[in-house]
């Protein structure tokens, strides 16, 4: 089975400040590896549109693969990851975020988005470790096909 590459971005003022442990980032790395993704980078950034947009642009530069964010998708005043993501996306992929919202009744409160920039697919997931993994697993089986199409190759 071919392996795709991925990066993880944890969005959290608390993790940056050292007042909260980053549980969702490592949980996503484990989940991605379980689905045969090779995680080549894992970063943490403070909440906020500018911070997150700039980090996503840096992570997506010359990258062909998947970026999964965790955190900042709820209703808190600093939960701005979807806005930061949408600010840099070239194309949205609403079916992915809709599928993630369906896995749990609390998913209805998620404002997560998904889409592409260049040959990179970006997906927002919640900030809790269980929520992030649950949302990724809800769409994991279609991500390789999406990345194959995004790269310009024909699926086998």
pLDDT of residue 2: 56
What is the DSSP secondary structure assignment for residue 119, as one 8-state letter? T
pLDDT in tens, 60-81: 999 999 999 999 999 999 999 9
Q: pLDDT band at residue 156, thresholds of 50, 70 and 90?
A: low
Q: What are the structural domains, with CATH classification, of the chain?
A: 4-150 (3.40.980.10)
**pLDDT, tens digit, for every residue of 83-121?**
999 999 999 999 999 999 999 888 888 999 999 999 999
What's the rounded Cα separation, in Å, for the pair 13 and 25? Answer: 14
15, with CB counted inside 10 A (0-12, 13-18, 19+), is: buried
Confidence of residue 153 (pLDDT cuts 50, 70, 90): confident
* pLDDT at residue 1 greater than cutoff 80: no
Task: Read off the pLDDT of residues 115-151 as tens digits, 9 standing for 90 and up.
Answer: 999 999 999 999 999 999 999 999 999 999 999 999 9
Exposure on the CB side of residue 53, measured as CA atoms within 13 A? 11
pTM of the model: 0.96
């Amino acid at each position: 089975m071919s392996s795709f590459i991925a990066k993880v971005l944890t969005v959290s003022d608390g993790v940056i400040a050292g007042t909260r442990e980053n549980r969702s980032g490592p949980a996503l790395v484990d989940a991605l590896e379980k689905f045969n993704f090779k995680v080549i980078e894992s970063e943490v950034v403070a909440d906020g549109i500018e911070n997150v947009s700039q980090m996503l642009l840096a992570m997506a530069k010359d990258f062909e693969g998947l970026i999964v964010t965790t955190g900042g998708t709820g209703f808190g005043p600093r939960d701005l990851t979807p806005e930061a993501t949408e600010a840099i996306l070239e194309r949205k992929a609403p079916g992915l975020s809709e599928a993630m919202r369906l896995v749990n009744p609390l998913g209805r409160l998620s404002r997560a988005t998904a889409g592409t920039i260049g040959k990179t697919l970006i997906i927002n997931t919640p900030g809790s470790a269980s929520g992030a993994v649950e949302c990724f697993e809800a769409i994991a089986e279609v991500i390789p096909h999406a990345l194959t199409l995004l790269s310009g190759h024909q699926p086998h």
